[in-house]
Amino acid sequence: MNELRKPEEFDVDDLRRKVSEIRAGQPASEAGTELNPFARQIAEQFRDISYSPTLLIGQFRLFELISLLAIGLLVGFFFSSNEQGELLPRFVMTAAGAAMTVLLLQLVDTYQIPALRAARRTVKRVMTAWTIGLALTVGGVYMAEAELYPLGGLATWYAAGAAFLFVERHLTAFGIRHWARNGVMERRAVIVGGGEPAKYLVRQLEQQPDNDIRICGIFDDRNSDRSPTVVAGYPKLGTFAELVEFARLARIDMLIIALPATAEQRILQLLRKLWVLPVDIRLAAHANRLRFRPRSYSHVGAVPMFDIFDKPIRDWDSVAKRIFDLVFSVIFIVLLWPVMLATAIAVKATSKGPALFRQKRHGFNNEVVQVLKFRSMYTEMSDQTAVKAVTKGDPRVTPVGRFLRKSSIDELPQLFNVLRGELSLVGPRPHAISAQTGERKYVDVVDSYFARHRVKPGVTGWAQINGLRGELDSDQKIRARTAYDLDYIENWSLLFDLKILFLTPIRLLNTDNAY
């Protein structure tokens, strides 16, 4: 019998290597397990999107910067001469004062949720930061012998800024407490694993001051003898297999595994099921005696968590990607509307039926979206399910449709899916929900197939510009496409999106697999 390892001898690097294998898509994942009615009822309660604390803090920081800048400029307008030569220097001075204050507020930790919730306790720090920020800015300006504000104007600017920060911080504290009570601003978590470890974890989380974690339930495979149906007041909602479906129905932010890190095989079996979800996956380390390096941890309050997987394209990255999608999709629609209008006329004039074709496809987190295309098949032969892929010389495709498919002009209506937020311009291409190669669905060919849906699908993607567009008539092709999609998700950046967008029209010249 193999001797058990001592906790302090646990090989963290070995666990990381095995997690990397899961990222590469080698292990299998379970999908399609039906939820029990009670778990489905709970999931429906968490269907609404919660507000990310990270986004709130970023927006709040930007709001204070703009507000302090506006106050300074307004005071300058009333108290100083508005000669042309002074306007730009005054703007620079005011912007410097606002930026210096925000930087100091950041340094004294007043842009944290606990600090924002407790405005009374942070008044001294806020006012000190405002005083020092303004004093440093004014001192620098007057050392340069530039008199941009009279003494009365500076006093008014200081008083107005202090009053604004005092009132605004107290209103924000009230708002955050209200949002927290109503579930608008929270991180929703599920505990994976039951029994005493889960009970201890829940108690630790509940003891954290200003905790923003909402525990939605507990999932465990063990029976009620080893894992009670209620743990620390929270119900056990089902098995690990049911958890995948639960996390897709509910808007879950985090899965916390309440198992000892030394239970390596059981943890890895869990990750094989769970990694396809667009959530943070953490291993609770509060009860372990393992000595991980500090950078291995994140914390919920004072509770340490070992980071296993991070949700891809999150918080401000998701905002940046959405802005990217909106800007470029509007540009493309403005530039290409004559092409789309001519295509719609050609489709209507050459065959009976509507110009547009709607098809249900898998979107973000396996949600079903209706993707728009120009119709390329005869209406009576159209295939909503895509069970039978289009092949070379397929009689179902109209003459106009053949050109549209080869040139990918039939995909242009998906720009409107992008505007509606159902697709991104760049991402894994969405496949029809019943799409298959041969007699097997894609998920039966590639174990990691559903991991493609951790981000929004795209009109174009990394796989398409690497020659994998059109028919997927072999296991090798769907595996290769999935590998490229996962590579895109792991290495996403706006520059990567821009590169794919720029290369797309060039790579469309290759029409070998477009029928």
**DSSP per residue, 201-252:** HHHHHHTSTT--EEEEEEE-SS-TTTS-SEETTEEEEE-HHHHHHHHHHTT-
Which residue blocks in 25-150 are alpha helix, DSSP H? Answer: 37-45, 53-79, 84-107, 113-117, 123-143
Quickly state the pLDDT bin for 3 (edges 50, 70, 90).
Answer: very low
Tokens of 34: 């039906």
The answer to whether residue 383 scores a pLDDT higher than 80 is: no
Report the range of poorest mean pLDDT among 379-388, 401-410, 499-508. 379-388
Q: Tens digit of pLDDT for each residue in 141-164? A: 676 555 666 777 788 889 999 999
Tokens of 382: 């159209």
Q: Which residues contact 74 (CB under 8 A, 6 or more apart)?
A: none
What does the alpha-carbon distance between residue 275 and residue 282 come to, in Å, rounded to a whole number?
Answer: 11
Report the range of poorest mean pLDDT among 298-307, 327-336, 480-489. 298-307
**Is the Cβ–Cβ distance between 94 and 73 less than 8 Å?**
yes
Q: Tens digit of pLDDT for each residue in 190-225? A: 998 877 888 888 888 888 766 678 888 889 887 766
Q: What is the mean pLDDT of residues 275-299?
A: 69
In the chain, what are the domain boundaries? 7-50+186-311, 53-181, 316-507
Q: What is the mean pLDDT of residues 292-298?
A: 57
The answer to whether residue 442 scores a pLDDT higher than 50 is: yes
Report the pLDDT value the prediction gives residue 30, as an integer from 0 to 100. 46
Q: How far, CA to CA in Å, does 45 sit from each of 38, 174, 277?
A: 11, 24, 19
H/E run at residue 291: none
Give the mean pLDDT of the chain.
81
Q: What is the mean pLDDT of residues 246-255?
A: 87
What does the alpha-carbon distance between residue 451 and residue 30 come to, in Å, rounded to a whole number?
Answer: 11
Most confident of 86-90, 302-306, 320-324: 320-324
Report the pLDDT value the prediction gives residue 242, as an integer from 0 to 100. 86
The answer to whether residue 339 scores a pLDDT higher than 90 is: yes
**Is the Cβ–Cβ distance between 14 and 260 less than 8 Å?**
no
Report the pLDDT value the prediction gives residue 472, as an integer from 0 to 100. 67
3-state secondary structure of 436: strand
Tokens of 182: 């109503």
Report the pLDDT value the prediction gives residue 475, as an integer from 0 to 100. 76
Q: Which residues contact 79 (CB under 8 A, 6 or more apart)?
A: 149, 150, 152, 153, 156
Q: How far, CA to CA in Å, does 337 sit from each of 24, 46, 399, 400, 462?
A: 40, 40, 22, 18, 25
Report the pLDDT value the prediction gives residue 153, as an integer from 0 to 100. 78
Tokens of 271: 């990750």
What does the alpha-carbon distance between residue 459 and residue 501 come to, in Å, rounded to a whole number?
Answer: 10
Structure pTM? 0.78
Q: How far, CA to CA in Å, does 425 sit from each of 39, 80, 331, 369?
A: 35, 49, 12, 15
Q: How far, CA to CA in Å, does 33 sit from each of 152, 364, 444, 449?
A: 70, 18, 15, 16
Rg (CA), the chain: 28
Report the pLDDT value the prediction gives residue 68, as an integer from 0 to 100. 92
What does the alpha-carbon distance between residue 382 and residue 390 come to, in Å, rounded to a whole number?
Answer: 10
Q: What is the mean pLDDT of residues 253-265?
A: 79
Which of 281, 254, 247, 279 has the alpha carbon at shortest distance from 189?
A: 254
**Fold observed for domain 7-50+186-311:** Rossmann fold (3.40.50)
